[in-house]
Amino acid sequence: MKTKVTAILRTVVSVLQARLNRLWPGHFPIAFKLALVMTFLLVLGMASLGLFISNNQNQLMRAQLDDFGHTMALQLAKLASEPILAEDSLHLRMLTANLSQDDKVLGAGIYAHNGELLSAAGIQPDRAGSVSGAAGVTSHPWFRRTADRPPERLISFTAPAIYQDVRVGSAVVTLSASLMDQAAAEARHAIVYATLAMTLLASLLAYWLSRRLSLPIHNLMEATRAIDRGDLATRIDDRRNDEIGFLIEGFNNMAAGLLKKSQVEQVFSRYVSKNVADKVLANLDEIRLSSRPVEATVLFADIVGFTAMSEKLEPSQVSELLNEYFSCISGACSLYGGVVDKFIGDCAMLVFGVLEDDSDHAFNAVSCAVLIQRLAAQLNEQRRAAGEPEVHFRIGINSGAMLAGNLGSDDRMEYTVVGDSVNLASRLCSVAKSDQIIMREELFNVLQPRVTAQAVQTLSIRGKSAPVRIYSVQDIHRKFQSLLQANLQGLLNHRANKHCPRTVAHA
């Protein structure tokens, strides 16, 4: 039974905690926190000051009431001592009557030594409490209860009547403490209302002041969010000579550094492959990328007759021509998951399956080569219509084992691939004819039937004992033609907009 009750209690506590967590906000603005703290301190100060003033006022009023009661009781006792001894009742009645006419005095009484009431006017307390054998003035608080009114708190002051050092009786003066209590209550109410008003005013003032104080922090937070969104040009234009000013200056310097770093990365990624740039920038402490053996495909694309063509063009025209075709070759390479290894004069070297895992790198390289040739054919139609010389490519492709990594010295390095398979791809490109894509027989056998090709010749390669039989690629299988045509149209559209695509869309 006890175990069940414990389990139920734990469940209830868990449910309550979950509901409280949902109701509790996840973020408190610093302005609200500052306002809350400032308001709390102001309220605490006002409440403490109010209590201090109220207590002092109560003590002062109580002391005044006691002094007045003592004085009245002593004066009555002094005046009544001889009439008590002479049994002059008329004189005693005149004393009590005169004293009771004071608005502050509710009652006055004169008693004989044996406690007999000799004269009285107004309210009188019980004799047992009124007549005392004490030598000095004594006070006796008590309550007067009536049917139609709430209880009234009274204080009776008793003083001994002494004649020639002999006590002959007592004098009793009764005062009301309710007026003092009412005044104290009114004072407390006034202090409470003043505290509430000051709390409201202090809350508004504290919130306004905290907003002013937290505004630079809010600006820093918004600027940080802008940096997180990629807006590296964000700056905070706020000159201050305090700690927040130093923080703002540090933020602006950081944002400027991030912008410069981003610009360097963008420029760097234009000189090397973006994937290579990402790897290098991600590990700046160790610039050298470890060389590793890979199974990949290399594609060399060379412009046929470029030397003769460049002799007829201005240097600026040659540069414009190369930039135009290399941009589109780079776009075609990215569409099939490859990267541009380097540009060598009028020749582009592309690699597939090196930086990114690609089990079908050979077919993607062939598809890229077909796309480049079709793109060149489309552009040549436009060049013929414009009266410009045509541009034709010869392409060599080879797959196999190669070594990929950073090669060079500490002062100058580049990420590339080397090996016999790379050399053979370059050799195949050099023997290819205009608008021709050639590969060796072993690669063609792997890619059948997705690639259609025709045997061309047997090529003797220096350093190899057996000749290499090469094939000329005609086309790729028709089920891949729709993707090829879409990529071609995308390249043409981006060229028209002076931009080539970088989105990978290979099969």
Residue 156 has pLDDT above 80, yes or no: yes
Stronger pLDDT, 60 or 4, i.e. the higher one: 60
| pLDDT (0 to 100) of residue 1 | 60
> Does residue 449 have a cis peptide bond before it, meaning omega lies within 30 degrees of 0?
yes
Cα separation, 302 vs 325, in Å, equals: 11
Q: What is the CA radius of gyration of the chain?
A: 53
| pLDDT (0 to 100) of residue 504 | 39
Question: What tokens appear for 205 in the block?
Answer: 């003032």
Amino acid identity at 436: Q
Residue 503 has pLDDT above 70, yes or no: no
pLDDT band with cut points at 50, 70 and 90 for residue 506: very low
DSSP for 16-77, please give it: HHHHHHHHS-S---HHHHHHHHHHHHHHHHHHHHHHHHHHHHHHHHHHHHHHHHHHHHHHHH
Exposure string for 323-347, b = 16+ CB within 10 A, e = fewer: eebbbbbbbbbbbbbbbbbeeeebb
pLDDT digits (tens, 9 = 90+) for 214-245: 677 777 777 888 888 878 777 877 777 777 77
| pLDDT (0 to 100) of residue 393 | 94
Residue 297: closest CA among 345, 347, 367:
367
Could you tell me the strand order of the sheet in which 105-112 lies? 117-122, 105-112, 166-176, 152-163, 138-144
Amino acid identity at 430: S
Question: What tokens appear for 121 in the block?
Answer: 């006017």
pLDDT band with cut points at 50, 70 and 90 for residue 299: very high
Residue 415 forms beta bridges with which residues? 406
pLDDT digits (tens, 9 = 90+) for 259-286: 777 766 666 555 555 566 566 555 555 5
Question: What tokens appear for 144 in the block?
Answer: 């007067």
Cα separation, 118 vs 109, in Å, equals: 8
| Average pLDDT across the chain, whole number | 81
